[in-house]
Structure 1
Amino acid sequence: MNVGFIGTGSMGTILIESLIQSGALEPDQVVATNRTFNKVQRLASQYPGLHAVTSIEETVKASSIVFLCVKPLEYKKVVEEISAHDRADLILVSITSPVLIHHLEHQLTCKIAKIIPSITNYVWSGASICIYGSRIQTEDRLLLEQLMMSISRPIQIEEQYTRITSDISSCGPAFIAFFVQKWVDEAVLETGINRDEAARLASEMLIGTGKLLTEGGLSLEQLQQRVAVPGGITAEALRLLNEKLDGVFQQLIHVTHAKYEEDLDKVSTLFGNIEVNLNRRQY
């Protein structure tokens, strides 16, 4: 089985490297193309056997599964090229949230899925969000999830929740890193602690917290209760955070959803204003 990649930007490269490094794919099972060909050539030099090709046609013809890893506004042009080599047994996987299953099924006859990865997949961790089109069969779903299971925990969702799940799984690492960066910066300013030491402590704390919430079986609420002794330092700090962060996450969700809807409108226009009966407020 060959797996193709159209687009080897940041996320396309992360998927290729993590799938190879995890052993899910051998380099000679990977076929990749990119508008800037030297990016694919660099990957081929790092992973001998990887097939660097110059066209979408070559990628589609040589692959059983093709991951489409381009920007939303590039999809229409790429899909038009794919349509010339479309076939019923091909599985096309979009990794971009504003491009809907309906957009792609309207243009192509192949099997369509959407899998939204996370930067955490690079270290074979985190989730991958899975959404399946009407032509995906049980064996196709199992094939895709087996592939992604080597670098993530595949979680199937309904497409109407694409945006909010992407906020948590894909954008979340950046949000958490921003929070920790601000915390570390202030710790350095207020106390003079070495920045690298503080950052290392915070990073180890994140790893341990994640394990407590997964392997340790604690819920978010239980973890807070176990650490925060009534009347203690942690409890006082949590009170402050609760007060100061009131409304922040509601605003964050509104901002990400507004941007998503803007992108969705642009993509829908490119695809001919295809009507989509999804409740946008739940994205």
Structure 2
Amino acid sequence: MSSTGKIAIIGVGNMGEAVLAGLLKAGHAPADVLAGVRRPERATALAETYGVAAVDPAEAAERAEVLVLGVKPYQVVDLLGGLPLRAGQLVVSLAAGLTTAAIEAALPAGIGVVRVMPNTPSLVGEGMSVIAGGATASAEQVTLTESLMAAVGAVATVPESQLDAAAAISGSGPAYVFYVAEALVEAGVHLGLPRAVATQLVTQTLVGSSLMLRETGEHPAVLRENVTSPGGTTAAALRVLENAGLRGTLLDATRANRDRSREIARGHM
């Protein structure tokens, strides 16, 4: 399959729009990207903002080689049943918890399925997308999906059996980071800092720390130790976090996330 064929984003919410914007920024021509939407006002807004054709999902599916599904997991199967699909197309699902097997069962023969778990930093081009190809997806189709998602950040390809675990780390990971950021801002306020100053300190500290992780390639433990002087203030704070069981709490949280994803896959919405 050529990477120059038409790509339809069906379900252009936050994540779908992030993919659309990323594809255009990466050099895809607006004429090669379709937005599949039902509401006329949304179609008008997307056409004006991005210069793409915004059409009914059925028309988008008919015209495209690649369909990126940005709708909710419980909407995917019903949506696919109403689209004019054909052999040779590729369906890329962004739906959490919905297995490739469940999607393949709703499709005609000869259509490849690749499952992707992106995250919200895709909105600023710094996403982490985890990809798994289904039984019907060719190696070329998986590679094509990697190329598409690279437009909005980094990409990792794993066996589908690992996708729920990966999604528990990166898919929901921004929520954990924002939760910690919120708590640190409140801590700064309690310590006497103006809220605006506390927010600036926390935001830039998270940005800088993340860049150090990525750019240095060092293990997080090494970077942590570089900040922690024996008997110092950081060591005192880390002791409190350790005594509070932060590591175990994060393990429990990510396990609960993975288990909920498996429940969704079994149809317990």
Say whether the fold is shared (TM-score over 0.5): yes
Tell me, in whole angstroms, the C-alpha distance in 2 between the residues paired with 1:74 and 1:126: 24
**Structure 1 residues 86-135: Cα deviation after superposition (integer angstroms, max 9, x where no partner):** 22210100001211011122222211101121111222213211110123
Tell me, in whole angstroms, the C-alpha distance in 1 between the residues paired with 2:133 and 2:9: 19
Structure 2 counterpart of 1:52, one-letter code = A
Partner of 1:231: 231
CA contact (8 A) 1:97 1:162 kept: no
Partner of 1:36: 39
Is the aligned partner of 1:3 residue 2:7? yes
CA contact (8 A) 1:2 1:31 kept: yes
**Structure 1 residues 43-96: Cα deviation after superposition (integer angstroms, max 9, x where no partner):** 111112x11112x221111111110111111112112113xx222210100001
Unaligned runs of 5+ in 2: none
Pairwise CA RMSD of aligned residues? Answer: 1.8
Partner of 1:104: 103
Q: Within 5 Å, which residues of 2 pair with 1:127-142?
A: 127-142=128-143
Tell me the secondary structure at the aligned position of residue 215 of structure 1: helix
CA contact (8 A) 1:8 1:40 kept: no
CA contact (8 A) 1:130 1:156 kept: yes
Aligned pairs, how many?
262
Partner of 1:209: 209
Structure 2 counterpart of 1:148, one-letter code = M
Deviation above 6 Å: which 4+ runs of structure 1? none
Q: Within 5 Å, which residues of 2 pair with 1:186-201?
A: 186-191=187-192, 193-201=193-201
Partner of 1:262: 263
CA contact (8 A) 2:92 2:145 kept: no
Unaligned runs of 5+ in 1: 270-283
User: In the superposition, relative to structure 1, how do residues 13 and 126 fare at CA in structure 2: closer, same or farther (>3 Å)?
Assistant: closer
Q: Within 5 Å, which residues of 2 pair with 1:113-128?
A: 113-128=114-129
User: In the superposition, relative to structure 1, how do residues 258 and 136 fare at CA in structure 2: closer, same or farther (>3 Å)?
Assistant: closer
CA contact (8 A) 1:97 1:116 kept: yes
Alpha-carbon distance, 1:205 to partner? 1.4
CA contact (8 A) 1:24 1:147 kept: no
CA contact (8 A) 1:8 1:33 kept: yes
Tell me, in whole angstroms, the C-alpha distance in 2 between the residues paired with 1:3 and 1:195: 44
Q: Within 5 Å, which residues of 2 pair with 1:26-65?
A: 26-48=29-51, 50-54=52-56, 56-65=57-66
Tell me, in whole angstroms, the C-alpha distance in 2 between the residues paired with 1:76 and 1:144: 20
Percent identical among aligned pairs is 25
User: In the superposition, relative to structure 1, how do residues 24 and 44 fare at CA in structure 2: closer, same or farther (>3 Å)?
Assistant: same
TM-score, length-scaled by structure 2: 0.91
**Structure 1 residues 4-58: Cα deviation after superposition (integer angstroms, max 9, x where no partner):** 01111221122212322x234222222112243322321111112x11112x221
Tell me, in whole angstroms, the C-alpha distance in 1 between the residues paired with 2:214 and 2:176: 20
Partner of 2:165: 164
